[in-house]
Structure 1
Amino acid sequence: MHMVMIFLDGFGLGGKDDNPIVAAETPSIDELLGGHLLWGKRYITYKNTVLRPLDPLLGVEGTPQSATGQTTLWTGLNAAKAIGHHLRAYPNKSLAEIIAEKSIFRQLAELGKTTMFANTFTKGYDQAVAAGKRAHTASTLSALAGGVRLRRVPDLLAGLAVYQDMTNEILVQQGEPVSLISSFEAGRRLGNLALHYDFTLYEFFQTDVKGHKQLWDEVIGLVERIDSFIGGFLSVVKEEDVAWILTSDHGNIEDFSVKGHTMNPVPALCWSNQPMKWPEWNTLEEVTPGIIKLLTEGS
């Protein structure tokens, strides 16, 4: 079985009002769920799809943040409790040490599983990190901890990677020698790539970026881009031995009545080609152990 995680930063399960996810047209997701139902605290089982809400609060006071939420998601260890608070943006030294030891990529590699981080990295990114102008996120640290090769623009040009905005628009603006593609085609590329690995991660963080700016129309467009991406992905994997989960680290875009991150649950939207007993996840820290169990013991 091939397991894929599609990670959407800042994508929660909110109410019906002030919610761009509800306002967007999402035919691919609606077909999976049997309706326009990716909102509210729902437990859904429909055909080969399962939706469960995950608690991102981690039993720690305060609003959920990216560094601790993502570290928790990709290690199975409650990072907020480990350091005593929620930490935004980039992992600190303590979180980096947790990731180095417990990364899902490392755990799977030690079990003999093949893994891939599908995102594309540029020379500009490398230079910024080397100059101390930016730091690796939890996802990148997790991949590196498992010995995963970071994919580059030549990989993208060869159809062997996907950029973080799906369509390459940002790369084109930066002057990289790439062409724009549709989000549907980006999803197809991820699907084809995932068939060669036991576990694949793809990270999309424009949801959190646009959510912080509270750009209603742009966020609706992003949600519809995500839906098209999923449609493209499914067009490749629907007949293959593939299971995938769409999830997040915390809420943001689902509630425009709140500026910034929310306290809402995040989705564990799960699908598989064949009927499968998914773990009854309730919190972020249960996801990595559940994925490892599925890949080593089956459903």
Structure 2
Amino acid sequence: MKVWLALDGVGHPLDAPPDSPWAQALTTLRPLVDAGAALDATLGVPGLPQSGTGQSCWLTGQDAVRLMGEHFGPHPGPTLQRLLRAQALPVRLVQAGARTALVNHYAPAYFAPQRRPRVGCFPFAFQAAGLPLNPSGLPLVPASLGLGFQAPWTPAGLGLEDLERLGTQLARAARDWDLLVLDLWFSDLLGHAGREPVPPEVRAAARAYLQRVDALLRGLLEGGADVALSSDHGNMEDLGVKSHTVARVPLAASTEILGPADVVGGGRWLAAWAGLSPAPEQKDDLAP
């Protein structure tokens, strides 16, 4: 009954400014995050952490930044794709005979032919494992969690009670699976809308998004799911800037977290939590 909520671009509240979207009543999410770990996402490399390398670290437990020689993203290029094909969590779970699925809902437009297909790390990793997007028989979740996809990102369908019920449905569905994963990339989109002074609609949408994560998480926990929550890099925690940040990122779980200090360690912790042994060190032939 394990469910991994992978936030995108949400730094830890310890490294957030006082007026952060974290500064509100998040009665389920905030206690879980506060009891968890704040992990380094920079890995000692100059520049701003990016989704391609950050998510690859989480998915593989390998130092994808060292492999690339820099922070890289948002989408995985050939080098990170090779790493994900070889060592991504869904690939290793399938090889071990486990059942896993990505429970994002992808609209039909996502599958339309594109001149330059650009697939994120999570859908790439699950497809590399031979698994479908929009898997049948599971309650699927839009990454926007019911907010509109364009400014001012007002609610468009799912309310907080709906998301709590959806979380409970996911928890029940998870009983028949080894791991369900949700790629919550919409927080990074909202973070990139930030600037100084912060537009009121951006602040409202970012706050609303964390409220929706809170409601979904509450339903998952009430449904008995064993939940882990992570983020790949900072961004939405500081709406005064448009870019990513060097903030530490959360690793939170309904079980105790011991050991990891950075996102590579976080990825190794996740693999063990999902029932896998540590992955072998990445091979030199994966490098560019």
Q: Are 2:98 and 1:113 equivalent residues in the alignment?
A: yes
> Which residues of structure 1 form unaligned runs of 5+?
39-43, 45-49, 171-177
Cα distance, 1:185 vs structure 2: 2.6
2:65 paired with 1:80 = yes
Q: Which segments of structure 1 move beyond 3 Å, counting only runs of 4 or more?
A: 178-181, 294-298
The code of the aligned residue for 1:124 comes to: A
Deviates more, 1:256-265 or 1:92-101: 256-265
Q: Percent identity?
A: 24
- Residues in 2 aligned to 1:292 and 1:151: alpha-carbon distance in whole angstroms: 23
Change (3 A) 1:150 1:206: same
- Stretch deviating more after TM superposition (9-18 or 97-106): 9-18
Aligned to 1:12: 11
Deviation at 1:270, TM superposition (A): 1.1
Structure 2 portions without partners, runs of 5+: 150-155, 195-201, 278-288
Mapped contact 1:59–1:81 kept (Cα < 8 A): no
Separation of aligned partners in 2, 1:51 and 1:93: 33
1:139 to 108, 114, 122: 122
Alignment of 1:1-299 (within 5 A): 2-13=1-12, 14-22=15-23, 24-30=24-30, 32-33=31-32, 38=33, 50-127=35-112, 130-151=113-134, 155=136, 160-167=139-146, 180=158, 182-214=162-194, 215-237=202-224, 242-272=225-255, 277-296=256-275
CA separation in 2, counterparts of 1:266 and 1:125?
28
Partner Cα distance (1:183, 1:290) in 2: 27
User: Following the alignment from structure 2 to structure 1, what is the Cα–Cα distance between the partners of residues 47 and 221?
Assistant: 37
Go from structure 1 to structure 2 and tell me whether the alpha carbon gap of 1:247 and 1:295 turns closer, same or farther (over 3 Å shift): closer
For 2:22, give the aligned amino acid.
I
Residues of 2 paired with 1:196 and 1:231: CA distance? Answer: 20
In structure 1, C-alpha distance between the alignment counterparts of 2:272 and 2:211, rounded to whole Å = 32
1:175 aligns with none
Displacement of 1:296 after TM fit?
3.2
| Matched residue type, 1:19 | S
Q: Single out whichever of 99-108 and 118-127 deviates more from structure 2.
A: 118-127
State the TM-score, normalizing by the size of structure 2. Answer: 0.82
| Rounded Cα–Cα distance in structure 1 between residues aligned with 2:275 and 2:7 | 25
Gap change, CA 1:167 and 1:186, over 3 Å in 2: farther
CA contact (8 A) 2:103 2:138 kept: no
Whichever residue aligns with residue 200 of structure 1, its letter is L
Cα deviation, residue 184, structure 1 = 1.8
Q: 1:20 corresponds to which letter in structure 2? A: P
Structure 1 279/106 Cα, relative in aligned 2: closer, same or farther at 3 Å? Answer: farther
Aligned partner of 1:174 in structure 2 is none
Q: C-alpha deviations, 1:156-208, integer Å up to 9, x for none?
A: xx6632221223855xxxxxxx9646322332232222222111111111211
Which deviations, in whole Å up to 9, do the C-alpha atoms of 1:257-284 show, x marking residues without a partner? 4332110100011114xxxx53421111
- Shift of the 121–190 alpha-carbon distance from structure 1 to 2, 3 Å rule, reads same
CA spacing shift, 1:17–1:145, aligned 2, 3 Å: same
State the shift of 1:58 in Å: 2.0
Q: Which amino acid aligns with 1:9?
A: D
TM-score (norm 1): 0.79
Structure 2 CA distance for partners of 1:220 and 1:265, relative to 1, 3 Å: same
Retained in 1: the 8 A contact 2:228–2:251?
A: yes
Whole-angstrom CA distance in 2 between matches of 1:297 and 1:120: 27
Range that drifts further, 283-292 or 228-237? 283-292
User: Is residue 38–residue 248 contact of structure 2 (8 Å, CA) maintained in 1?
Assistant: yes
